[in-house]
């Protein structure tokens, strides 16, 4: 018969570390808020792409959860939509429509921000990372518009990038402000 201590050494009670639980919760939270943000939208009469807060949440996911966690949150969001959950504003066919490229761009955009901010909050790395993430989302979005709608590259930039530049600058400013709090909370004070 095993003594209590020997049994505890062979079968530790802590099966999952608190850090792992925190990471999984973070992935779930950011997948969920990205889904909610898809349904809070402002349609533009001249563009097949609506205004949403999703891009800000994608960038904040990368800042908060790091590269792997941020990318994972967006992958969970996309898989949930592919599984038929109502996470896309346009329904499960969103990955075949005009916003497909943007949605697919969420994964590398979150990863890019997470990689750039792995050392914690530094405005000198965060701001360029947010700009790169925005470029990634725009590039994927424009490619999706060209491929899936058949419009020209110039038209795709006109309806899929130009109307969103000012709003995305405001979103980046909001992410910078929020990241001062989310980085220490999720990654720890020493990140």
Answer whether residue 65 is part of any domain: yes
Whether residue 99 lies inside any domain: the answer is yes
The answer to whether residue 6 is domain-embedded is no
125's tokens? 């790395």
Number of structural domains, the chain? 1
The predicted pLDDT at position 19 comes to 79
In this prediction, residue 184 carries a pLDDT of 80
Cβ neighbours, 10 Å, residue 159: 20
Beta carbons of 128 and 116 less than 8 angstroms apart: yes
Domain residues for 183?
21-187
**Which portions of the chain are predicted below pLDDT 50?**
1-2, 189-191
Q: What is the predicted pLDDT for the residue at 174?
A: 96
Question: Among residues 171, 161, 158, which one has the least CA distance to residue 140?
Answer: 161
In a domain, 16, yes or no: no
> What is the pLDDT at residue 53?
95
Task: Write the CATH number for 26.
Answer: 1.10.1760.20
User: Could you tell me which of 187, 191, 179 has the C-alpha nearest to residue 19?
Assistant: 187
What are the residues whose beta carbons fall under 8 Å from the beta carbon of 138, sequence distance 6 or more? 105, 160, 161, 164
Q: Quick check: is 7 in a domain?
A: no
In-domain check, residue 9: no
Q: Which of the 8 DSSP states describes residue 110?
A: H
Q: Is residue 12 part of a domain?
A: no
Q: What is the pLDDT of residue 18?
A: 81
Please check whether residue 121 lies inside any domain of the structure. yes
């Amino acid at each position: 018969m095993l003594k209590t201590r020997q049994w505890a050494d062979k079968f530790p009670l802590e099966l999952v570390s608190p850090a792992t639980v925190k990471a999984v919760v973070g992935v779930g939270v950011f997948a969920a808020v990205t889904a909610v943000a898809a349904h809070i939208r402002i349609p533009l009469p001249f563009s097949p792409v609506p205004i949403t807060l999703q891009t800000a949440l994608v960038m904040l996911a990368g800042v908060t959860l790091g590269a792997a966690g941020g990318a994972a949150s967006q992958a969970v969001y996309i898989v949930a939509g592919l599984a038929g959950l109502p996470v896309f504003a346009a329904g499960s066919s969103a990955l075949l429509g005009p916003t497909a490229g943007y949605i697919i761009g969420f994964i590398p955009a979150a990863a890019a921000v997470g990689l750039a901010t792995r050392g914690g909050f530094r405005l000198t790395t965060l701001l360029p990372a947010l700009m790169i993430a925005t470029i990634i989302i725009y590039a994927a979005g424009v490619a999706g518009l060209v491929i899936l709608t058949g419009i020209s590259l110039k038209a795709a930039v006109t309806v899929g990038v130009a109307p969103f530049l000012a709003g995305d600058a405001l979103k980046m400013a909001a992410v910078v402000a929020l990241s001062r709090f989310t980085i220490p909370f999720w990654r720890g004070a020493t990140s």
